[in-house]
Structure 1
Amino acid sequence: MASAERAWSGAGRITGPADVARVIAEVNAAGLGRDRTAALARSVATADDVALMGPDASRTLPVLPGLADLFPVGGLRRGSVITATGSTSLLMALIAPVVAAGSWAAVAGMPDFGVLAAITDYGIASERLALVPAPGPDWPTVVAALLDGFDLVVAATAGGPPADSVVRSLAARARQRGSVLIAASPWTGTDLTVELVARQWIGLGAGRGRLRLMHSSVASYGA
């Protein structure tokens, strides 16, 4: 790296106490800047070390065994933002094991979520599930507040995907709090997309019968 010597002349000349005080202030300011740079470098190094380590169960929320292969770490990585679309059943399947493990979940912007189905079909404990059916136009603030207190937050937005700046802000909040944010409507800039691509109902015969089983095909892909 090339270096340059400072020519102490004119404004840079030390001619009295005032000049000494000014130079000391400049040196102290430069030293403070180096300290901050060193602290940042230590933080980056620590983040790199964590990235090189294997999956940590404390840094993931559980998923159903049949869905584990869809996620790079075998579960919902804390601090991540995921898009999950195609079916409310998929969302319930993601929420169920998280709540069963003792965590708390919240759903915002889904007035037709289907609490009865969540409880009876997926065994989601209602006392660990918070619903905000209509968060209103200031929904990012509501979702950010939910990320502060819940391990898993599902959010749906109407009228198209939110601005990239909103997604980045919520992603930063999720990383800071160690929570997981699932977008139930198409968002851009998320870490992973999980989508129900096909389903088949079993049980109906030739115009009669009862639905007994549903086979679902789910795919995932990176941002």
Structure 2
Amino acid sequence: MNQAATVRLLQQRITQMQPLRIGETGLPTPAELRPLLPGGALRAGAATAVQGSLLLALALLSEASATGAWCGAIGVPHLGFEAADRVGVRLDRFVVVPHPETHTLAVTGMLAEVLSVVLLHPPSNTSPGEVARLTARLREHGTALVVLGGWPGSDTSLHATASRWSGLGSGTGKLEGHELTVRSIDRRGQRRHTIRFNEGRLVPAGLTRLVLPHAAAT
């Protein structure tokens, strides 16, 4: 079975299992990430670009996934299923196409017909025409797009500019705490945010944390 036939079969099965999709303009979004986005949510039919952190990109999908929405990842062969599961993505409703050959945006457009949120790592040679066609498809079907890297016309660009880890102590133990410094760029201007994870899960704002001593650029 070729890739196009496989994608069509996925479309049919997802449609049968999820006859109704989330219809709101603002999709369910983790409370910890709402300050990063205009309107406080991922928007159906719109794109959010994320640079510097795959974990942050996955976290953006987690709340919609938790409500039962189908999500997907296209062109992300290095995606870790354990990391996706820890951050809250439901693997039983998560479609992954790690190697879409030369048809990355075409596959994304086809799956956008049945998925609520798509995580995409686009090829570097993506043309303006391909971007325009995919944007039209997203708007037609009300699918939110989260892009790893830059993306023309994105509603929001999120840049993870630095990270800090904790948990090793004096050379023992394991890394558990992860703090990201994120710069958001959207119609509100530029803003700086701090997002925290513990063992791969988002930490609600306001919870006290240990001081994270080890800084490293992402």
TM-score normalised by L of structure 2: 0.71
One-letter identity of the residue aligned with 2:129: S
- 1:211 is matched with which residue: 152, 175, 182? 175
CA distance in 2, matches of 1:161, 1:62: 32
Q: Is the 8 A contact 1:68 1:75 kept in 2?
A: yes
2:63 corresponds to 1:97:
yes
Greater share of residues in strand: 2
Q: How many Å apart are 1:161 and its aligned residue? A: 5.4
CA distance in 1, matches of 2:155, 2:136: 12
2:179 corresponds to 1:197:
no
2:116 corresponds to 1:138:
no
One-letter identity of the residue aligned with 2:137: R
Q: Is the 8 A contact 2:65 2:71 kept in 1?
A: yes
Q: Is the 8 A contact 1:81 1:191 kept in 2?
A: yes
One-letter identity of the residue aligned with 2:172: R
Runs of 5+ consecutive residues of structure 1 not aligned to the other structure: 1-56
2:138 corresponds to 1:181:
no
Q: Is the 8 A contact 1:85 1:194 kept in 2?
A: yes
CA distance in 1, matches of 2:64, 2:133: 24
CA distance in 2, matches of 1:71, 1:218: 12
CA distance in 2, matches of 1:198, 1:147: 32
Q: 1:222: which partner in 2?
A: 186
Task: Name the % identity.
Answer: 30
CA distance in 1, matches of 2:88, 2:42: 19
Q: Is the 8 A contact 1:161 1:188 kept in 2?
A: no
Runs of 5+ consecutive residues of structure 2 not aligned to the other structure: 1-22, 188-218
Aligned partner of residue 89 in structure 2, secondary structure? coil
Q: Structure 1, residues 16-62: CA drift from partner, whole Å, max 9, x if none?
A: xxxxxxxxxxxxxxxxxxxxxxxxxxxxxxxxxxxxxxxxx921112
Within a 5 Å distance, the mapping from 1:7-86 to structure 2 comes to 58-86=24-52
2:72 corresponds to 1:106:
yes
Aligned partner of residue 207 in structure 1, secondary structure? coil
Greater share of residues in helix: 1
Q: Structure 1, residues 43-98: CA drift from partner, whole Å, max 9, x if none?
A: xxxxxxxxxxxxxx921112221210111111001110121121111111111111
Question: In angstroms, what is the RMSD of aligned CA positions?
Answer: 1.7
Bigger relative contact order (CA 8 A; separation at least 6): 2
Aligned partner of residue 97 in structure 1, secondary structure? helix
CA distance in 2, matches of 1:199, 1:92: 16
Q: 2:131: which partner in 1?
A: 167
Q: Highest CA radius of gyration, 1 or 2?
A: 1
CA distance in 1, matches of 2:78, 2:110: 22
Q: Is the 8 A contact 1:107 1:133 kept in 2?
A: yes
CA distance in 1, matches of 2:82, 2:144: 24
Q: 1:129: which partner in 2?
A: 94
**CA distance change for structure 1 residues 130 and 123 in 2, over 3 Å: closer, same or farther?**
same
